[in-house]
């Protein structure tokens, strides 16, 4: 039993050394209770704070009441009351938060659909520890692009702003404009799709071996 | 009671489940998620899987009866079951679910019916094998247990 405590302590220390943002508040939504139970354990293993919801209505209620300020949402694509793409749209309109899609489908068409709806990543079931370990990067990336866009807005004439970061701020502004302008129109222009793809760290997590 | 022997039996049963393709590495991940805070996590997940999958199997059965040749509906139900299978690494069962989906795509009702029978069979077999596995583990107790139960008075 002493050995298990030691292992647990080592894991927590490793977590700190690996710079996980401990306590990342994740809302996970899936009508599959088995998947949700495993996902919750994975999230806790990464020292995140998971909250689970089994349908879209409950999830949106939790997000809107703001009793807990979530950092990130993981949602299954297929659910009986509302699909994950619609949830992503609503989250994009009402609150600025990264949304990761989750599905058994790994077909390119479905994944691209996820991208077009503004998902910041797409995980194919079964989800592995490494998939979950890296989700904090989406939160960090969003915070940075928001900070840069604030900077570039405030310093519009400042020539010292790096061209790379300016491009990123333009991307995030365009992305926000697209989200607010598109209502039920699910089609994105090619350029905004490209921007969204660029926002994915080149790390699409889906597996195509199936 | 020979706890070491029980643990060996459990390990051997698990190995055979992997060798015969009933389970894949996702099952190992589920067992890895067990810790002091959740010492029976794997058994809880598996138990939840069988409870929930029984419901999903019934849903598919009813859908096939009530909505003949509604392949999209049948497929949607099977997708739910597949998701659960993925979560515990129920590999053989998952393969039969995939056959079912392929038959749906081909709009082959007879193929769907055949695959569905196989899904139900694999479901029953896996349930029986995993029940045996967890029973052995329960009897074997925690790995480091040296407690002796004093039976006599």
Closest chain A C-alpha to B140 CA, distance in angstroms: 17
Which among A119, A70, A117 has a CA at the least distance from the CA of A95?
A: A70
Phi-psi region of B101 (alpha: psi -120 to 50; beta: other; left: phi over 0): alpha
Distance from CA of A191 to the nearest CA of B (A): 33
**Bigger pLDDT: A8 vs A75:** A75
Interchain contact B49–A (C-beta under 8 A): yes
pLDDT score of B74: 96
ipTM value, please give it. Answer: 0.88
List, in sequence order, every beta strand (DSSP E) within A2-91: 25-29, 49-53, 72-76
Least confident of A26-30, A84-88, A155-159, B65-69: A155-159
User: By mean pLDDT, which of A38-47, A67-76, B20-29 is the weakest?
Assistant: A67-76
Q: Across the interface, which of B26, B48, B80 has its CB nearest the CB of A37?
A: B48
Q: Which residue has the higher pLDDT, B104 or A149?
A: B104
Residues B41-49: what's their mean pLDDT?
Answer: 97
Average pLDDT, chain A: 72
CA distance linking residue B142 with residue B60, whole number of Å: 39
Partners of B29 on chain A (C-beta within 8 Å) are 38, 126, 128-129
Contact criterion met (CB < 8 Å) for A35 and B35? no
Best mutation target among A29, A126, A131 (most B Cβ atoms within 10 Å) is A126
**Predicted local confidence at residue B19, as pLDDT:** 97
Return the domain boundaries, chain A: 2-148
Which has the higher per-residue pLDDT, A210 or B123? Answer: B123
d(CA A86, CA A77): 9
B39 vs B45: CA distance, rounded Å = 12
Portion 76-95 of B in contact with A at CB < 8 A: 76, 79-80, 82-84, 86-89
Partner-chain residue, chosen from B33, B76, B89, that has the shortest CB–CB distance to A41: B33
pLDDT band at B12 (very low <50, low <70, confident <90, very high): very high
Q: What is the pLDDT of residue A203?
A: 46
pLDDT confidence bin for B56, thresholds 50/70/90: very high
Task: Indicate which of A32, A48, A102 best probes the interface with B, i.e. most B CBs within 10 Å of its own CB.
Answer: A32
Q: What is the rounded CA–CA span in Å between residue B87 and residue B24?
A: 10
Contacting residues for B116 by C-beta, under 8 A, at least 6 apart: B60, B61, B64, B100
Average pLDDT (B78-97) is: 95
Q: Lowest-pLDDT range, A70-74, A191-195, B124-128, B133-137?
A: A191-195
- Is the pLDDT assigned to residue B4 strictly greater than 50? yes
- A34 and B48 within 8 Å at the Cβ level: the answer is yes
pLDDT of residue A109: 76
Compute the nearest-CA separation of B153 from chain A (Å): 30
User: Which 8-state DSSP code applies to residue B121?
Assistant: H
Which CATH architecture describes the domain A2-148? 3-Layer(aba) Sandwich (3.40)
Q: Which two tokens stand for residue B67?
A: 């909505």
Mean pLDDT of A119-140: 87
Q: B120 and B57 in contact (C-beta within 8 Å)?
A: yes
Give the list of residues 6+ apart from residue B140 with CB closer than 8 angstroms, or none. Answer: B3, B6, B7, B10
- How far is the alpha carbon of A43 from chain B, nearest alpha carbon, in Å? 10
C-alpha span between A157 and A95 (Å, rounded) = 29
- Work out the pLDDT band at A198, boundaries 50, 70, 90: very low
């Amino acid at each position: 039993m002493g050995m298990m405590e030691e292992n647990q302590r080592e894991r927590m220390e490793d977590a700190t050394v690996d710079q996980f943002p401990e306590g990342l508040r994740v809302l996970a939504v899936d009508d599959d209770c088995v998947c949700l139970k495993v996902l919750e354990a994975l999230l806790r293993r990464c020292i995140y704070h998971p909250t689970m919801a089994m349908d879209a209505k409950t999830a949106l209620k939790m997000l809107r009441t703001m009793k807990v300020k979530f950092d990130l949402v993981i949602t299954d694509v297929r659910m009986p009351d509302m699909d994950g793409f619609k949830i992503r749209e609503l989250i994009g309109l009402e609150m600025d938060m990264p949304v990761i899609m989750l599905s058994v489908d790994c077909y390119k068409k479905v994944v691209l659909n996820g991208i077009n709806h503004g998902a910041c990543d797409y995980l194919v079931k079964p989800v592995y520890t490494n998939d979950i370990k890296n989700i904090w990067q989406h939160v960090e990336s969003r915070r940075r692009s928001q900070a840069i866009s604030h900077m570039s807005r405030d310093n519009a004439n400042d020539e010292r702003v790096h061209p790379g970061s300016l491009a990123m701020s333009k991307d995030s502004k365009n992305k926000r404009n697209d989200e607010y302008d598109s209502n039920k129109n699910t089609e994105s222009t090619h350029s905004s799709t490209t921007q969204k793809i660029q926002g994915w760290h080149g790390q699409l997590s889906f597996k195509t071996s199936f | 009671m020979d706890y070491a022997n029980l643990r060996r039996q459990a390990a051997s049963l698990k190995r055979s489940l992997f060798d015969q393709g009933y389970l894949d590495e996702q099952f190992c991940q589920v067992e890895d998620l067990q810790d002091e805070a959740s010492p029976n996590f794997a058994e809880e997940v598996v138990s939840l899987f069988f409870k929930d999958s029984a419901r999903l199997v019934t849903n598919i059965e009813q859908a096939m009866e009530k909505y003949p040749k509604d392949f999209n509906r049948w497929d949607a139900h099977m997708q739910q079951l597949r998701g659960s299978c993925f979560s515990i690494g129920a590999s053989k069962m998952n393969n039969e679910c995939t056959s079912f989906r392929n038959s749906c795509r081909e709009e082959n009702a007879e193929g769907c019916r055949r695959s569905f029978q196989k899904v139900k069979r694999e479901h029953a077999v896996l349930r029986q094998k995993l029940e045996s596995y967890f029973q052995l583990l329960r009897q074997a107790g925690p790995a480091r247990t040296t407690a002796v139960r004093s039976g006599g008075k």
